[in-house]
Amino acid sequence: MFSDLLDIDIVREKRISIINSFDDQLYPALVNTEIIQSTNRCTLKQKKIKTISIKKVQKKDFLTLIKTLNYFEKIGFVHGDLNKKNIINTEDGFRIIDYEPSILQISNGLKQYMVTKPYISKLDLLENSITIRTDKIGFFYFVLRVYKLINFKDLVALSKTFNHKKWLKLNENQLKYTSYSDLLDLALDKLK
Amino acid sequence: MSELKTIEKVLFGVTGELHQIFEGSLEFYKANPDVSFKVRPAYGYNKFYLDWVGFSYDMSLKALIHFILYEKKYYKKILSKKTYGSLKKSIEENQSKKYCISDKLEHDVVTMIEKNAINYMKCCFESNNMDVSSFVECNYDSRSNVPNISKCNVIQNRIVHFKNFINELRIYTNKNTISKSDLKNLMDLSKNLEGIDYFLDLLELVYKQCAITSKEIIEIALSKSLKNSDLSRLVNFVNNKLKDDYLADRILRSIKQ
């Protein structure tokens, strides 16, 4: 039935069951576990949530988000597409949306990771897998974008090279062992 | 400053595009009212929510309208070269950034198009019995002027999607008699029509129900500066359908030799 989702059934079902178990207080819950076939990808639908503009953000505003991401890391769950369009601001703080049933899908006729350029770890690209490194890179650039520390031209340049060295002074291997709180501090250092 | 006709054309273009995008995903979202109406219409960053109105600009309906105006080159028609150049530069630098037009008149034109397009979308949601609270909260609450005839194609006395409007009117007139108040509404709507084809389509449906109103609509058409060929088509209509020799003769006389 889901020939365009490239995970084996058991992996996909496990992923959906994990997403479905998320606490509604922290994540907009899924409407149901049905996979929606749209023209260019297969998705899961989350409940409606009211967004507000991201204006004056303080360090503490990231705490709920970091708590969520720490939980993901603890259970070994990878979102795979963390970016400014998938983390929305609500009255209760930042919420993550758009969890795909499979990170690797056939999209527009091509086998593709459901990751948005350039928010992907170069090492993951080379190793042909999506790991926590990509989520951490996504989070790091999310913080930079919230504070307007990176501009559109730089993002376009990044999408071509995936060379994160200019922004992230860390070896990508080290990323795996760097906590989200430390990444937040590294991003905020650029404000100084 | 753009002419009213150009602004209207742009508005029709934008609403037509929104209508297509809306219809493309309607079935699923109608069945799932708890889900935000997400669309990927290949404009801008390719991810928008049609029911995100007002609170946040990124990925909102307003942002989608902005990209339609830009990518369909409508901005070129309604903005000065200077403003368009600066807007283009801003989009190229950062497409997520909201561009603020400094010229007051141009700003007002774009705001008017945005407002009407959002109202149109609200009417589309409403006519499909979908949640419109986000629209109402942000004061986008214009109602259709002709609720019996068209559920979502008329906003603030302008027909924004003529083809759909005429189809709805055709279906309505097949089964119902148009009330006096709706006939008056139709006459008012015709005041904002431009182009003989629109008038003739409307007249074709109205004359069967009320000859007097159709004659009044013809008077409105005559008040617009019509070409000789348009006047000839009007004469044909009057002769063949209304069988009013006096009116046909009057129109004939207004044809410039």
The confidence score (pLDDT) of residue B54 equals: 78
Return d(Cα B256, Cα A144) in angstroms, integer.
68
Return d(Cα A170, Cα A189) in angstroms, integer.
14
Which of A51, A98, A150, A153 to mutate: most B Cβ within 10 Å? A51
Return d(Cα B254, Cα B257) in angstroms, integer.
9
Give me the helix-helix angle, B81-93 and B61-71, nearest 10°: 120
Is A126 a member of any domain? yes
Q: E strand or H helix at B16, and its extent?
A: helix B4-31
Return d(Cα B18, Cα B169) in angstroms, integer.
21
Judged on CB neighbours under 10 Å (0-12, 13-18, 19+), B103 is: middle
Nearest one of A154, A89, A175, A130 to A7, comparing CA atoms = A130
The confidence score (pLDDT) of residue B130 equals: 92
Nearest CA in chain A to B42: A40
Is A3 a member of any domain? no
Return d(Cα B144, Cα A188) in angstroms, integer.
50
How many Cβ atoms sit within 10 Å of the Cβ of residue B136?
A: 13
Closest-CA distance of chain A to residue B53, Å: 10
Q: Is B45 on the interface with A (CB under 8 A)?
A: yes
Give the pLDDT confidence of A127-183 residue by residue, as tens digits: 999 999 999 999 999 999 999 899 888 888 999 998 898 898 888 888 889 999 999
Q: Do the chains contact at A31 and B55, CB–CB below 8 Å?
A: no
Q: Do the chains contact at A52 and B56, CB–CB below 8 Å?
A: yes
Give the pLDDT confidence of A67-93 residue by residue, as tens digits: 999 999 999 999 999 999 999 998 888
The confidence score (pLDDT) of residue B212 equals: 93
The confidence score (pLDDT) of residue B78 equals: 94
Residue scoring higher pLDDT (A26 or B245): B245
Q: Is A111 on the interface with B (CB under 8 A)?
A: no
Is A1 a member of any domain? no
| Domain map (residue ranges) of chain B | 4-137, 161-254
What CATH number does the domain containing A113 carry? 1.10.510.10
Q: Do the chains contact at B35 and A31, CB–CB below 8 Å?
A: yes
Is A101 a member of any domain? yes
Q: Is A102 on the interface with B (CB under 8 A)?
A: no
Nearest one of B15, B10, B5 to B163, comparing CA atoms = B15
Of A45, A49, A151, the CB nearest to B32: A45
Closest-CA distance of chain A to residue B164, Å: 26
Q: Do the chains contact at B28 and A36, CB–CB below 8 Å?
A: yes
Q: Is the dihedral of CA B206, B211, B216, B220 positive or negative?
A: positive
Give the pair of three-digit tokens for residue B218.
């013809």
Q: Are B160 and B113 in contact (CB under 8 A)?
A: no
Which residues, in sequence order, are bridge partners of residue B38? B49
Q: Is B31 on the interface with A (CB under 8 A)?
A: no
Q: What is the mean pLDDT of each run of 10 residues along chain B (257 residues)?
A: 77 93 90 88 92 87 96 95 94 85 92 92 90 89 77 81 89 90 91 90 93 94 89 94 92 80
Nearest CA in chain B to A47: B35
Q: Is B240 on the interface with A (CB under 8 A)?
A: no
Q: Do the chains contact at A53 and B55, CB–CB below 8 Å?
A: yes
Q: Do the chains contact at B40 and A40, CB–CB below 8 Å?
A: yes
Q: What is the DSSP string of B108-153?
A: HHHHHHHHHHHHHHHHHHHHTT---HHHHHTT-----S-TTT-SSS
Q: Is A89 on the interface with B (CB under 8 A)?
A: yes
How many interface pairs between A and B have CB atoms less than 8 angstroms apart?
44
Q: Do the chains contact at A49 and B94, CB–CB below 8 Å?
A: no
Which residues, in sequence order, are bridge partners of residue A93? A90
Q: Do the chains contact at A153 and B35, CB–CB below 8 Å?
A: no
The confidence score (pLDDT) of residue A190 equals: 85
Q: Where are the beta strands (DSSP E) in A11-100?
A: 36-37, 42-43, 87-90, 93-96
The confidence score (pLDDT) of residue B256 equals: 67
Domain that holds residue A73: 9-189
Q: Are A96 and A79 in contact (CB under 8 A)?
A: yes
Q: Do the chains contact at A88 and B57, CB–CB below 8 Å?
A: no
The confidence score (pLDDT) of residue B98 equals: 84
| Greatest Cα-to-Cα distance within chain A, rounded to the nearest angstrom | 52
Give the pair of three-digit tokens for residue A51.
């967004």
Per the structure, the count of domains in chain A is 1
Average of per-residue pLDDT values in chain A: 88
Q: Are A106 and A6 in contact (CB under 8 A)?
A: yes
Return d(Cα B230, Cα B255) in angstroms, integer.
10
How does strand A104-107 pair with strand A93-96?
unpaired
A116: left (phi over 0), alpha (psi -120 to 50) or beta: beta
Q: Do the chains contact at A51 and B40, CB–CB below 8 Å?
A: no
Which residues, in sequence order, are bridge partners of residue A110? A107
The confidence score (pLDDT) of residue B75 equals: 96
Q: Do the chains contact at B58 and A84, CB–CB below 8 Å?
A: yes
The contacts of residue B13 (CB under 8 Å, 6+ apart) are B68, B72, B74
Give the pair of three-digit tokens for residue B8.
């209207």
Residue A89 three-state SS: strand
Task: Give the global pTM.
Answer: 0.83
Of B32, B51, B57, the CB nearest to A53: B57
Judged on CB neighbours under 10 Å (0-12, 13-18, 19+), B171 is: exposed
Chain B residues in contact with A142 (beta carbon < 8 A) = none
Return d(Cα B65, Cα B183) in angstroms, integer.
33
- How does A37-54 read in b/e, with b if 16+ C-beta sit within 10 Å? eeeebbbbbbebeebeeb
